[in-house]
Chain A
Amino acid sequence: MNARLCTEDAVAAWLRALTPAQEVLFPERSPQDGAFRFEPVRPTSPISFAGYLPTQLPPAKVFAPARDPLFAFRPTPDGSFEVEPHLDTTARVIAGVRPCDLKAIHLMDGVNAEGQEDPHYFARRRAALLVSYACPTPCDERCFCASTGSLDHRQGADVVLTPVDGELLAEPLTDAGVALISTLDGHACDDPASLVQRHRDARPAPFGRQLDASPAAIGQALARTWDAQVWLKNAEACFTCGTCVVVCPTCYCFDTEDEASLSEPGSGTRYRSWDGCLLQDFAVVAGGHDFRKSLAGKHRHRVKRKFEYHNGRFPEDGAFCVGCGRCGAQCTAGIDIFHMANDVVAEEAK
Chain B
Amino acid sequence: MSADLFLPRPARVLEARKFTARETYLRLALDAPLGHRPGQFVMVSLLGLGEAPISISSGPSDGNELEMVVRDAGSLTQVLCAKQAGDVIGLRGPFGSGFHLEQLYGRDVLFVCGGLGLVPLRSLILPVLAQRARFGRVVLISGCRTPADELYRDELDAWAARGDVEVIRLVDRTEHQPWSGQVGLVTAPIPNLGLNPDKLVAALCGPPVMYKFVVLALRGAGVGNHQIFVDLERRMRCGVGKCGHCQINDVTCCTQGPVFRLSDLADRPEAL
Interface-lining segment among A9-17, A168-176, A248-256: A248-256
Which of chain B's residues have a CB closer than 8 A to the CB of A275? Answer: 237, 243-245
| Min distance, Cβ B52 to any Cβ of chain A, angstroms | 7
A253 to chain B, nearest CB (A): 3
Q: Give the residues from 301 to 350 in chain A that come closer than 8 angstroms, CB to CB, to chain B.
A: 301, 304-305, 308-310, 312-313
Of the candidates B48, B77, B243, B244, the one whose C-beta lies within 8 Å of that of A258 is B48
Residue of B nearest to A126 (CB): B1
Which residues in B have their C-beta under 8 angstroms from that of A207?
none
B269 at the A interface (CB under 8 A) = yes
**In the assembled complex, which residues on chain B have CB atoms less than 8 Å from the CB atom of A272?**
6, 237, 243
- List residues of chain B with CB within 8 A of the CB of A112: 242
Interface residue stretch chosen among A144-152, A186-194, A235-243, A277-285: A277-285
Q: Which residues of chain B from 1 to 30 have a CB within 8 Å of any chain A CB?
A: 1-8, 10, 12
Q: Are A79 and B87 in contact (CB under 8 A)?
A: yes
Q: When the two chains form their complex, are residues A277 and B10 in contact, meaning their CB atoms are under 8 A apart?
A: no
Interface range, A side: 35 or more
Q: Is the CB of B49 within 8 A of A258?
A: yes
Q: A119's contact among B1, B51, B71, by CB below 8 Å, is which? A: B1
- Closest partner residue, chain B, to A112 (CB atom): B242
Among candidates A79, A255, A291, A308, residue contacting B237 with C-beta atoms closer than 8 Å? A255
Contact A115 B255 (CB under 8 A): yes
Distance to closest chain B CB from A204 (angstroms)? 36
Q: Tell me if B's interface is mostly helix, strand, loop or mixed.
A: loop
Known: A256-B51, A268-B47. A87 touches B242 (CB 8 A): no
A291 neighbours in B (Cβ, 8 Å): 208, 234-235, 248, 270
Are the C-beta atoms of B50 and A119 separated by less than 8 Å?
Answer: no
Q: Is A73 an interface residue (CB 8 A)?
A: yes
Residue of A whose beta carbon sits closest to that of B9: A83
The answer to whether B73 touches A287 (Cβ under 8 A) is yes
Q: Is B197 an interface position by the 8 A CB rule?
A: no
Residue B194 interfacial (CB < 8 Å):
no
Given A117-B1, A254-B237, A266-B48, do A286 and B88 touch, yes or no (CB 8 Å)?
no
Assess the B3–A87 pair: CB atoms within 8 A. yes
Measured between beta carbons, the chain B residues less than 8 angstroms from A309 are 247, 249-250
A85 at the interface (CB under 8 A from B): yes
The total of interchain contacts (Cβ-Cβ below 8 angstroms) comes to 129
Residues in chain A near residue B270, CB distance under 8 A: 291-292, 297, 301
Any chain B CB within 8 A of the CB of A263? no
Query: Could you tell me if A118 and B5 are in contact, using CB atoms closer than 8 angstroms?
Result: yes
Q: Inside 8 A of A282's CB, which chain B residues have their CB?
A: 235, 245
Contact B6 A283 (CB under 8 A): no
Q: Would you list which residues of chain B between 191 and 222 have a CB under 8 Å from chain A?
A: 207-208
Q: Is B240 an interface residue (CB 8 A)?
A: yes
A32 located at the interface, meaning its Cβ lies under 8 Å from any Cβ of chain B in the complex: no
Chain B residues in 8 Å Cβ range of A73: 47-48, 90
Given contacts A114-B241, A115-B240, A119-B3, whether A283 and B234 have CB atoms under 8 Å apart is: yes
Q: How far is the CA of A80 from the CA of B29 in the complex (A)?
A: 12
Shortest Cβ distance from A251 into B: residue:
B244
Contact among A70, A117, A122, A284 for B235, CB-based, below 8 A:
A284
Contacts of A120 in B (CB 8 A): 6
Q: Which of A117, A122, A253, A297 contacts B245 (CB 8 A)?
A: A253
Question: A270 an interface residue at 8 Å Cβ cutoff?
Answer: yes
Report if A70-B6 is in contact (Cβ < 8 Å); known contacts: A80-B12, A254-B242, A258-B50: yes
Query: Which residues of B are found within 8 Å of A70, using beta-carbon distances?
Result: 6
Given known contacts A275-B245, A277-B244, A80 and B10 CB-to-CB distance under 8 angstroms: yes
Q: Which of A81, A117, A252, A289 contacts B90 (CB 8 A)?
A: A81
Residues of B within 8 A of A80 (CB): 10, 12, 88
Chain B residues with CB under 8 A of A116: 2, 5, 240-241
Chain B: CB-nearest residue to A253? B244
B33 contacts across to A, CB distance below 8 A: none
- Best-surrounded residue of B10, B51, B52 (most CB of chain A within 10 A): B10
For residue B107, give the distance in angstroms from its CB to the closest CB of chain A.
30
A310 to B51, CA, bound (A): 27
B238 CB within 8 Å of chain A: yes
Residues of A within 8 A of B73 (CB): 286-287
Complex CA–CA separation, A80 to B241 (angstroms): 28
Measured in the bound complex, the distance between the Cα atoms of B241 and A310 in whole Å is 13
Complex formed: what's the CA distance from A205 to B119 in Å? 61
CB-nearest residue of chain A to B208 = A289
Contacts of A85 in B (CB 8 A): 3-4, 6-7
Q: How far is the CA of A62 from the CA of B228 in the complex (A)?
A: 44
Sampled A-B contacts (8; CB under 8 Å): A71-B7, A256-B51, A270-B47, A282-B235, A291-B248, A304-B249, A309-B249, A313-B250
A-binding residues in B (CB < 8 A): 1-8, 10, 12, 45, 47-52, 71, 73-74, 77, 86-88, 90, 207-208, 233-235, 237-238, 240-245, 247-250, 255, 269-270
Residues of A at the B interface (CB closer than 8 Å) are 70-71, 73, 79-81, 83, 85, 87, 111-112, 114-120, 122-123, 226, 252-258, 260, 266, 268, 270, 272, 275, 277, 282-287, 289, 291-292, 297, 301, 304-305, 308-310, 312-313
